[in-house]
Structure 1
Amino acid sequence: MAGGEEGRPRPPEASPPRAPPETALGEAEREAGGGSSRRLPPPRLPRLGLALALVAALLAAKYYRDSEVARRQETALKSLGNEGLFLFASLDTNNDLYISPEEFKPIAEKLTGIAPVTGIEEEEILDPNGETLSIIAKFQPLLMDTMTKSKDGFLGISHIALSGLRNWTAPASPLSLMFAQQFKAFLPPKNKLELADPWWVIPSELNIFTGYLPNNRFYPPAPKGKEVIIHKLLSMFHPRPFVKTRFAPQGAVACIQAVAEIHAEFQLNEPPDFPFWFSPAQFTGYVVLSKDSSHVREFKLFVPNNRSLNVDMEWLYGALESSNMEVDIGYLPQMELESLGPSVPSVIHDENGNVIDSRDSEGEPIQFIFEEITWQREISWEEAAGKLEVAMYPFKKVSYLPFTEAFERAKSESKLVHSILLWGALDDQSCSGRTLRETVLESSPILAFLNESFISTWSLVKELEELQVSIQENEVNSKLADLHLEKYNFPVEIMICLPNGTVVHHINANYFLDITSMKPEEAESSIFSFSASFEDPSTATYLQFLKEGLQRAKPFLQA
């Protein structure tokens, strides 16, 4: 059909009219019955055939045009170079090889200096006469000396990669005025009115099956619904908070005491620099507000600073996301938001309902007196925080005790210690234990076996190194730390120990993940074999590791 003019189909409107199939058939039968020797004319091409032929021609033309466009696009993209191609890909969020006006908006705002409108984005209209409260942001920058790998430069380019981190020395908005009604997002649903019964303020949308979000992004998506208040609060620290983190668990969980635990991260760099992700361990806090959210008595949100390391950092130093990624961890002394006082009315009425001035006759601001709250029911902060941790991290259905306390408990209960030693924390956004906690440590058989047969603990390498050198303060604890560090290999080592600290069995997490990703026939040569009792090879292998630890410990326990 592509050869010459006569092969081209005519457009539908040029086709001669013809009768419906039933009529055409009747005419043919009459001619045949009349004894005419005249041959019937060949049947005309049906309209459907013409339409299909036309579509085929159009597709051929479109294919040629698209191929030419694709060739030109490929040439243009290659001319950008690796860095330019990376920037283009980070803006092309729908991967259609075009930068739409909406996708280009962040760059346009940066170039023009015109900030986006960040007005009230809640679905419901806020009462302009509602109560307001002042929120203050307190921030002390990351202590660069606590970075274990990159403080002295990495591959000669860390000074550029860390520019966003080094320049972040103060909160973006030290003070913000907010409506009490905006905190309605933290009120419990109607079926979650019991103390310590957690609910998800922002549900986590990621798990091991959905995978993680990409690293090559600079600008967070527009917050929606209950994300708006959290985004607004976190924007006081930095203009680019991501309420939906790249890694599970995402979101925010709360329970009535009232306590909340929020996971979020910040993008510190902008083009043309490569992305730098700053992920605090978690945000923990509380809010005291009325049931109709018209009044907020207290609010505080902070990054816990009771551990030696509480921030995970990841950044790209090249255009290829998978191979050019560097990670580090560090310590952040202070990152918190706090209300300066209870929310107060924007408009003051007298006893007759008339609006009066906010100052008295002498010009002094009117002082509000708030009654003391008498709680009918309450639970402790520790209990509430524990419930939230289990909701956010199901692996905590097993109690993980502090390092030295675990060995004391094991001695008193005549049990072994199941210990995990990590470069980064197991129960925050650091990367080193992420896969373990989201797979085997959450599985029901492992949870049951650990609760029955072991005392569990996890520790940071940095903390045990500090404990190791404190031999003059406590020789026993120093020895426990020494025995652990002897067996440690980066990034995570899993150990089975006697109550005196002797390690009877251990396995590196990377090796464990390697053998459990093998096909069963490939794993036959390894020291572990897959059990037929569980479909999940990771669970079966971890269970076998624990049982083998118990077997190896028997001679020591019987001695």
Structure 2
Amino acid sequence: MEGDVDKAALVEEEEKKKSVNNDVAHDSGKTPGRIWTFWTLFVVACVPVIGAGIQYFRNTHISQRHEAALKTLGAEGLFLFSSLDVDHDLYLSPEEFKPIAEKLTGVAPPAEFEEEFIADPNGETLTLHAAMQPLLLETMTKSKDGFLGVSHSALSGLRSWKRPAVPSSSFSAAHFRVFLPPKGKGEPGDTWWIIPSELNIFTGYLPNNRYHPPTPRGKEVLIHTLLSMFHPRPFIKSRFAPQGAVACIRAVSDFYYDIVFRIHAEFQLNDVPDFPFWFTPGQFAGHVVLSRDASHVRDFHLYVPNDKSLNVDMEWLYGASESSSMEVDIGYLPQMELRAAGPSTPSVIYDEQGKVIDTREEGGEPIHFVFEEIHWSSEISRDEAAGRLEVTFYPFKKVAYLPFSEAFSRAEAEGKLVHSILLWGALDDQSC
């Protein structure tokens, strides 16, 4: 009997020990999970605080460096420095310092095409000639020195720009493939962006306090090279929307396209120490006739339209910062154009035996090439193609904008209302 009691007591004691062990094991299983949850929430809560601290440290550091730079360089010196400091980190990388190095050494490497546009050395070449008549200063309201505070230095770049920077230049025909339509575009009236616009009414505009354009990329390279024939500092992407370039197929044949295009770009006419002066033609228009594989260019023409009384917008700064006062004027440019000297021709030709010969005959006269006549299988008018370009740049052009007398007569005949707009310049280009 006594033995049975002892055994019962031992069994009870063992059961208590197991119960205690189970409770301890249960608690120990909960504790790590709770700790892990606590630290996870703690880290999540700390991330924004740490990020804000890092950002505060960076802003404070940049502010201190900005004050030190202002003290060392002065307002105008800092303005020049900031115009080169593209990423605004208050350091000049070798690439950012490159424009100053080129100016000091007088050596500026020519614009290079990207690898995808490297042409066949045995392919055809096209020669373009540039022609320009300078802006008529009397068409400006602020053209005279001292008038409304206009200084001579502000207009120095404009006054000295009398002729094209590069009167003539040769190009590989293959470089003009940037004008070929993309897949899915192949009929007259089809439009597409060659250089897409990156600005709209919501994104604002690009800075005014710049002297040197960014390095062109991709399809921008050819457009930049073409406009550089007029002036060495073209900005392919204008400060204000719409920017970029749009093309439209005007006509097609079995082997050729006739493509019209429109470009919105601008020039920076001043250099240090003068403040920036922006010269913005209303638009660059033109057309190119080229083969479907871009091996041959039959014709090319690029120009600033001169059919309006005012066709150029001009803006210049009077201070050393982006917030400095700016003057605005408008004027008339009689001529700015590039024309092909003729169709592209082979740089290397072969005789009947397959031997390479020069493009000139023995007497020194160039060999005359005979080109077949192009028969367009489908086409639209130049005006219709230009209208499609306008609508692409300005969707509001879907509505007809007419001279007041014509609009009033049409509205009276159709019983409709007339809404009027008073313009300084053209509604559908950058000279407004």
Q: TM-score range by the shorter chain?
A: 0.7 to 0.9
Does the 8 Å CA contact 1:359/1:365 hold for their aligned counterparts?
yes
Q: CA deviation at 1:430?
A: 3.3
Aligned-partner Cα distance in 1 for 2:61–2:387: 60
Match of 2:410 in 1: 409
What does 1:209-358 correspond to in 2, within 5 Å?
209-257=202-250, 258-358=259-359
Residue of 130, 135, 150 corresponding to 2:123: 130
Q: CA deviation at 1:112?
A: 1.2
For residues 488-507 of structure 1, the C-alpha deviation after alignment (integer angstroms, 9 at most, x for no partner) is xxxxxxxxxxxxxxxxxxxx
Aligned-partner Cα distance in 2 for 1:400–1:293: 37
3-state SS of paired residue (1:353): coil
Aligned-partner Cα distance in 1 for 2:200–2:233: 24
3-state SS of paired residue (2:152): helix
Does the 8 Å CA contact 2:349/2:359 hold for their aligned counterparts?
yes
* Cα 1:420–1:122 shift into 2, 3 Å: farther
3-state SS of paired residue (1:82): helix
Aligned-partner Cα distance in 1 for 2:165–2:341: 18
* Cα 1:65–1:282 shift into 2, 3 Å: closer
Residue of 57, 69, 80 corresponding to 2:73: 80
Aligned-partner Cα distance in 1 for 2:377–2:346: 26
Larger mean Cα displacement after TM superposition, 398-407 or 307-316: 398-407
Residue of 128, 132, 137 corresponding to 1:139: 132
Name the aligned partner's letter for residue 357 of structure 2. Answer: I
For residues 471-512 of structure 1, the C-alpha deviation after alignment (integer angstroms, 9 at most, x for no partner) is xxxxxxxxxxxxxxxxxxxxxxxxxxxxxxxxxxxxxxxxxx
Name the aligned partner's letter for residue 334 of structure 2. Answer: P
Aligned-partner Cα distance in 2 for 1:79–1:178: 46
Q: When the two structures are superposed, what TM-score results if normalisation uses the length of structure 1?
A: 0.63
Q: CA deviation at 1:65?
A: 12
Aligned-partner Cα distance in 1 for 2:68–2:363: 75
Aligned-partner Cα distance in 2 for 1:122–1:252: 21
3-state SS of paired residue (2:313): strand
Match of 1:206 in 2: 199
Does the 8 Å CA contact 2:136/2:331 hold for their aligned counterparts?
yes
3-state SS of paired residue (1:159): coil
The answer to whether structure 1 residue 119 and structure 2 residue 120 are counterparts is no
Aligned-partner Cα distance in 2 for 1:360–1:353: 16
Aligned-partner Cα distance in 2 for 1:413–1:111: 66
The answer to whether structure 1 residue 190 and structure 2 residue 183 are counterparts is yes
Aligned-partner Cα distance in 2 for 1:404–1:322: 42
Aligned-partner Cα distance in 2 for 1:64–1:138: 54
Does the 8 Å CA contact 1:195/1:255 hold for their aligned counterparts?
yes
3-state SS of paired residue (1:78): helix
Q: CA deviation at 1:353?
A: 2.5
Aligned-partner Cα distance in 2 for 1:266–1:121: 23
Name the aligned partner's letter for residue 228 of structure 1. Answer: V
Structure 2, gaps ≥5 residues long: 1-52, 251-258
Aligned-partner Cα distance in 1 for 2:371–2:199: 43
Match of 1:108 in 2: 101
* Cα 1:122–1:165 shift into 2, 3 Å: farther
Larger mean Cα displacement after TM superposition, 331-340 or 146-155: 146-155
Does the 8 Å CA contact 1:202/1:226 hold for their aligned counterparts?
yes
Q: CA deviation at 1:426?
A: 1.7
Name the aligned partner's letter for residue 246 of structure 2. Answer: V
What does 1:516-555 correspond to in 2, within 5 Å?
none
Does the 8 Å CA contact 2:111/2:221 hold for their aligned counterparts?
no
Q: CA deviation at 1:64?
A: 10
Does the 8 Å CA contact 1:251/1:263 hold for their aligned counterparts?
yes
Q: CA deviation at 1:189?
A: 0.6
Aligned-partner Cα distance in 1 for 2:364–2:89: 62
What does 1:371-450 correspond to in 2, within 5 Å?
371-430=372-431
Does the 8 Å CA contact 1:282/1:428 hold for their aligned counterparts?
yes
Aligned-partner Cα distance in 2 for 1:322–1:71: 20
Q: Percent identity of the aligned residues?
A: 72
Aligned-partner Cα distance in 1 for 2:351–2:219: 35
Aligned-partner Cα distance in 1 for 2:126–2:187: 28
Name the aligned partner's letter for residue 387 of structure 1. Answer: R
The answer to whether structure 1 residue 92 and structure 2 residue 85 are counterparts is yes
Name the aligned partner's letter for residue 307 of structure 1. Answer: K
Does the 8 Å CA contact 1:268/1:275 hold for their aligned counterparts?
yes
Q: CA deviation at 1:404?
A: 2.9
